[in-house]
Every structure is written in C-alpha cells, then in structure tokens.
Structure 1
Amino acid sequence: MSSDTAYALLHNRSDDGATDSPASYPLGLDLSSLVHRARHHSKWRMISFTLIAAALVLFTGLSSYFLGKYVEKQAIKSDWLSPPGRVDHTFHYRHEFGMRPGNLSERYWGLVFPRGRGFIQHPIISPVPHGLAVYHQLHCLDAIRHGYWAAIDGLEPGHKAEPGHIRHCIDYLRQSIMCNADTNLEPINKDLGGVTGFGFTRKCRDIVQIMAWADKWRTHNQTDHD
C-alpha cells in the first residue's frame, strides 16, 4: 500500500466532537434522504397491509354468505325436518272457535280474516286477483264447524255447510295439511297416552305479518268470512 493512500473514516469529527455535515460522508450517503425513503416505504407498507386486510375481510364475508346460502339450499333439498317459519308460538285451547254459530263465535272467527277475506292483487306476483290459501283453509274449517253444529242440532245446513261444500273442504284441508307438513315435535302427554298439541313452544309463520300483507293488497274491503 503506497504512502499516499489511506482508509477514509466513516465519521469525521471536528475537534469539539461534532459530526460533520452529510456532504462530508463518504460514498455520497445522505442520512436525511434515507430516513425520508424509509418513512415513505413504511407508509406504503401500511397502506398495502390495510388493503390486503380489507380484501381478506370482504372475501371472508362473501364466502360466509354464499356458503350459508349453499347450506340453506342443500338443507331444503335434503330430508331435514325443519318447521316452516321463524316465529315462536305456543298453542292454547280457545273454546270460542268451536262454539255453535252465534254472535260470540262469529266475532272470534272474524278476527282471523283480514279485510278482503284474503283475496289480493299484487303488481308483481299477482297482477290478476288471487286468494291466499291460508284464508281458504280457515274458511273451510269454519264451514265444517257450521256443518257439525247443524248436524248436532238437527238443523238444515245453510249454504256454508252444504254437504258438497263440506266434502270439498274435508279433502281440501287434508291435502293442505299434507302439503304444509308441520314437523314441529309435540310432547306426549303420559296421562292421555298421546298428544294434545297445546302448551309448548313451536315454530310458526308470522300470521300477523301475513294478515297485514293481505290487508295491504286486498281487492276489496269486505270483512265477512262466508
């Protein structure tokens, strides 16, 4: 090594110990520029991390949604016995609905029908008038009540309880019950050795919501349920 060659010091200090300015650093190193670039890179790393995290959250959410829809569709296709409806409801015996036709029983039966008696017209799903099946079924059950009491009392059946109408209603209700196939599990009453259907919570459709919808889209304002 020649006498005029020497290693350059990384930090040249003055006599008072202060570090020289960046311009005096070897190899053109500028610490302020390095710090700025480091902060710039850190900022972009944070932005990239945030975008990736947001994308993962969105992907997870969408995956869960479509997976839920798939499972729901598969459950419908399978033979799972899930009751239709989401409303918890307990049946309690109401003798008024089984009473002889009269002011009290007719008033109670009138409460289960909306204005328009369940005949609706909707611009999308029913551009021409239709009847909601649940109200046809209730009408038929009430007709059987009328026929039952007419037979008990030895009276001539009225138009609602004519034999042909009653026969129609019996088979219509049979098929309606089988079509809807309520799969709620009814506890056995040990004293009776069977089931009563009353006194336990079951899953039901929201009849209040159905009645409100039927009332909104009714074709007329008639309120009787004959």
Structure 2
Amino acid sequence: MDSHYKNPYTPLSTEDDNTTSDTLPIQAQKNQVHANKRILALTTSLFLLCAGLGAALYYQINSACRVSYVSESSHIKVPHRAVTFLPHNEYTDQLPDEPGSVWDKLIPPGRGFVTAKRTRSGALAFEEHSSVSFGADSSREYYCISAFHQMHCLAIIYNAIFSKNHADHHHRDDHSDHTKHCIDYLRQSIMCASDATLEGSGVLGGDGTSVRAVDGWNNTHQCRDWDSLYDFASRHRMLDSDGIV
C-alpha cells in the first residue's frame, strides 16, 4: 500500500453554513406572520358574527318589548286638570230619570260604548263614529268606558233609593243633607278619576233577542279631564243612544 495515497476531501465552505443558518429564521418569521394574519382574520370574523347575532337578538327582544308595551298601553289618553269640589244642588234636586235631567248631560251620545280594531302591534285603533252602517265586522271589538259605566250605576242607585219612597219626584225635601252630600261627593269623585279602563263586553240573551252588556268585574284599573273623555266617547261611539238610566 502506497503510503502517499490520500482520500480526496473537500471541506464545506464556512460561508455556506452561515447563509443556511440565516435563511431558516427568516422563513420561520414569515410563516409566523402569515399565521398571525390568519388568526386575526378568524378572530375578526368571529367577533363580527357574534356582534351580528347579538344585534339581531337585541332587536328581536327590543321589538317584542315594544309590541308588549303598545299592547298593554291600549288605554285612552286623557289629560288631567285641577278641579275644586263644590256643592252642585242641581244634581240632588232632581232624579236622573226625570225628563231633561242634568244627569243626562253627563253621559255622551252612545252612552260610553266605543268600537275599535286591533293593529298589527296589538294596540287598539278606535274608530270614528259614522252614521253609515258598514254591517257586521268580526274584526271590530266593542267596549264600554268604565267612567260612564260608573256614572250610570250611581244614577241607578240614586233612583232606587228615592223613587220608591216618593211618588212625586219633585217633592223630596225630606232627603237628608248627609245623603245629598254623599251622592254629590261620589259624583264628583267619579268625574275626578275619569277611569278609562276598558271593560270587555259580551252578548247576553236568548230567544232571538240579544244585547251587548258589561258587568265590570275582573277588570284591573289604573287608578282624568271629564270633558275630554266625554268628547272622545262621543266621537267614537258605537250607537246614537242617550240618557243616563
């Protein structure tokens, strides 16, 4: 064996080693940037999706609340005014059922019965009175305004108390001052409250005769200017009947 033989060997360049080691971190940085962009895009998309779902849910809930509020607020808006209670003898000097009684002037045409229809939101839209009959309409709802029902009941009580004991309604000098005071005080109290609670009506009767009537029970009251309520009832009246009893 020749002692002078040498296996050819060429060492790797030191410069090449440095280039490769520099390239790997740069590529890793680029990959990390792309990954961060993808994460940011995904996060943004999820945020927008959640925001959209949240907005949609809020709108639905808010809409439902608005509808519920409108439905529950289907009450007649009546302004308030200050009224000083004073004695009015004209209401105790005659019975409500006497011809031309001042009591009749307390009840509007239609006797407090009004008609309405439901809107899409569930609120009541009251109809203006018309002399033209449009026939039966199942979409119409019929109500009696509570304040006029109350006044009617007071008149009935007044008649029941005094007409039985006095054949001549024009001679009632023996009415106690206390009773007169209570009747007039109750009358003014009803007018002051002007309770606008709606009382649902039902059809009563048989044998070919039926009427719409109310008993006033099971209605929750929200316990206003009497003239405003009177005008409203007159404009939206169901019928042209009149009189307090």
Q: Greater CA radius of gyration, 1 or 2?
A: 2
**Comparing both structures, which one devotes a greater share of its residues to helix?**
1
Q: TM-score, normalised by structure 1?
A: 0.39
Q: TM-score, normalised by structure 2?
A: 0.37
